[in-house]
Amino acid sequence: MTITFSRHYYLEKFSRLHTDKNRTRWTAVTTHRAPHKPLLLLAVLDLFAQGSLTTNLIELSPELGELFTTYWHTVRPPSQRGILTYPFYYLQSDGFWHLQPRLGQEAALAVYRPNAGLSALHALVLGARLDDALFDLLQTADGRSALRHVLVTTYFAPELHEPLLRQTEVNVAAFVYSESLLAHARREQKQVKETAVAEPVRDQGFRRAIVQAYDHRCAICGVRILTADGHTAVAAAHIIPWSESHNDDPRNGLALCHLCHWTFDEGLLSLSDSYLVNVSPQLPAAANLPGHLLTCNGRQLLGPAEASLWPFLDSVRWHRRHRFRAR
């Protein structure tokens, strides 16, 4: 016999999540409750809104982790760190979230505890499956809106309602913007100039496009560090700065670790027309200890797997002419 649950059923479920209630640990900002579960569910709603979830399986993906972290930073619970492991595991207790073990990992998952970490959980599960009726409800804009409203108004103080709802809009708009940037570049059209996009959307969308194109790897030194909850070592850098170019085309960007990003912006690193790394003679000068950066000299740029997303030579030449400290 198949039981079909109503929309009202899931609105009730979302309003009665099993959360840690402790006034010494959680303040009125999160209604004296742990915000992990509602923030994870807000991130999941965004994935549905983006059209990223076409099958009933929510994976422990970098994108899910990044959305969760973005919401966590919006709320900023005092003296607490947002860890995705706990809500992803403990949402099982709310009845609509079902962990799907990897083949042969059923027994290990049965004895797993979240303090083992997210990497360990990732090794045990393919992801989480929702009730079929909830999955169907989340395919609709009205269903997502109603469930989002319940999460925001139930678990967060009134002053956070607008920022959280605004962050939802930014997340979805940034996804759309990043996809449009990548699609434009793949068609090898001319540079994308400034469009009427709000700054938070533009910043987040450009970052997503670049990090995705370079697969979280620094284009200069090659470092790739991606935590299980989606934190990455790289940032998105404009080759010609936005202030000069107003150009978010991915081909005017590089994924760079924080050290290479700063060094590139300072003109201590640049690129040749054949995409070889140039190291400024100022980098090892005086009392500097640039370490591994010196080994990058003459190294081939570690560009995107897709040839259509490699940097514009015009941008590379601009940087070498206007920023690089050649002597």
Give the residue among 269, 270, 275, 239 at the shortest CA–CA distance from 254. Answer: 239
Backbone angles phi, psi at 92, to 5 degrees: -55, -35
User: How far, in Å, CA of 126 to CA of 58, rounded?
Assistant: 8
Place of tokens 């081909």: 251
Mean residue pLDDT across the chain: 93
Domain segments of the chain: what residues? 8-156, 199-322
- pLDDT higher than threshold 60 for residue 194: no
Write down the pTM of the prediction: 0.90
Sign of CA dihedral 4, 138, 45, 159: negative
Which tens digit of pLDDT belongs to each residue from 173-183?
A: 999 999 999 99
Residue-level pLDDT at 1: 43
The pLDDT-based confidence of 197 (bands split at 50, 70, 90) is confident
HEC per residue, 95-107: CCEEEEECCCCHH
Beta bridge partners of 232: 226
Q: What is the mean pLDDT of residues 195-212?
A: 91
Cβ of 215: how many Cβ atoms within 10 Å?
14
In whole angstroms, what separates CA 27 from the centre of its chain?
Answer: 27
Contact 138, 18 (CB under 8 A): no
Q: Greater confidence, 266 or 82? A: 266
Burial of 210 (0-12, 13-18, 19+ CB in 10 A): buried
Which tens digit of pLDDT belongs to each residue from 121-176?
A: 999 999 999 999 999 999 999 999 999 999 999 999 999 999 999 999 999 999 99
Which tens digit of pLDDT belongs to each residue from 214-271?
A: 999 999 999 999 887 778 999 999 999 999 988 999 999 999 999 999 999 999 999 9
User: How far, in Å, CA of 32 to CA of 23, rounded?
Assistant: 5
The pLDDT-based confidence of 77 (bands split at 50, 70, 90) is confident
CB environment 300-326: b (16+ within 10 A), e (fewer):
ebbbbeeeebbbbeebbbbbbeebbee
